[in-house]
Amino acid sequence: MAKNIQTEIEKLKNQIVYLGTAVQENMQKSVKALWGKDPDMAREVIERDKDEIDTFEINVEEDCLRLLALHQPVAGDLRFIVTVLKINNDLERIGDLAAKIADKVLLLHAIDPVKFASDAMQIPEMFNAMFEKTVWMFHNTMDAFVNEDTDLAYRVCLEDDEVDREKGAIRTQMEEIIMRDPSQHVYLAKLISVARSLERIADHCTNICEDIIYMAQGKIVRHHITR
């Protein structure tokens, strides 16, 4: 029985790695679609989220529940399965947020395709830093999970405040531009929403890392990590 559950646990781990890879690819593609003003790529992101990521998340949840029912695991095995259930949900939510960014590309294109595609519509440079930091958090979150690296998980959690500050700075800049030029309100409001989605992705990375710490150490650190 023990050998069987260890095989199933390794399978679950591989499933989360696969799901994480798919989500990261979609997240990067959603921002690439925004930078490139590419509605076709945005549609690909939305379709992959609906057809692959959402379906895979349901399958992982069903596998976790089956293991809990059949094997009644305890101690470390139980913590691992519970953690996978929670990480699985966070990854699906990150996938939804990537699709939400892609949806903003489609909305901007639908409002005024010519204007959206013009050189006049530029993505502010400060988005780059926020996006790179969010990708760093996600990549290292997955590394922390694979290697059960609690030190790395703590470092990811400590970066969340930086992403929050970058989002606040972007919002302030966008609102100042809108005050000077109300005609840009629709376009810039969509960019504020993109920044909010990136911030939420960082929040989910933090949630996952807190769960990794619980999985490895049996310690609940929510609300207790010093930033």
The pLDDT value recorded for residue 141 is 98
**Which domains are present in the chain?**
2-217 (1.20.58.220)
Distance CA(141)–CA(162), nearest Å, equals 16
Which residues are within 8 A (CB) of 172 and not within 5 positions of it... i.e. 6 or more apart?
A: none
Residue-wise DSSP of 55-74? HHHHHHHHHHHHHHHHH---
Per-residue pLDDT in tens (0 to 9) along the chain, 227 residues: 455 888 889 999 999 999 999 999 999 999 999 988 899 999 999 999 999 999 999 999 999 999 888 888 778 888 899 999 999 999 999 999 999 999 999 998 888 777 766 655 667 778 888 999 999 999 999 999 999 999 999 999 999 999 999 999 999 988 898 889 888 788 888 889 999 999 999 999 999 999 999 988 877 766 566 54
- Determine the 3-state secondary structure of 126 from DSSP: helix
Q: Nearest to residue 26, comparing CAs of 118, 93, 85?
A: 93
What tokens does 188 get?
């810039």
The pLDDT value recorded for residue 185 is 84
Alpha helices by DSSP H, listed for 112-184, are 113-117, 126-147, 150-180
The pLDDT value recorded for residue 1 is 43
Distance CA(76)–CA(93), nearest Å, equals 26
The pLDDT value recorded for residue 64 is 92
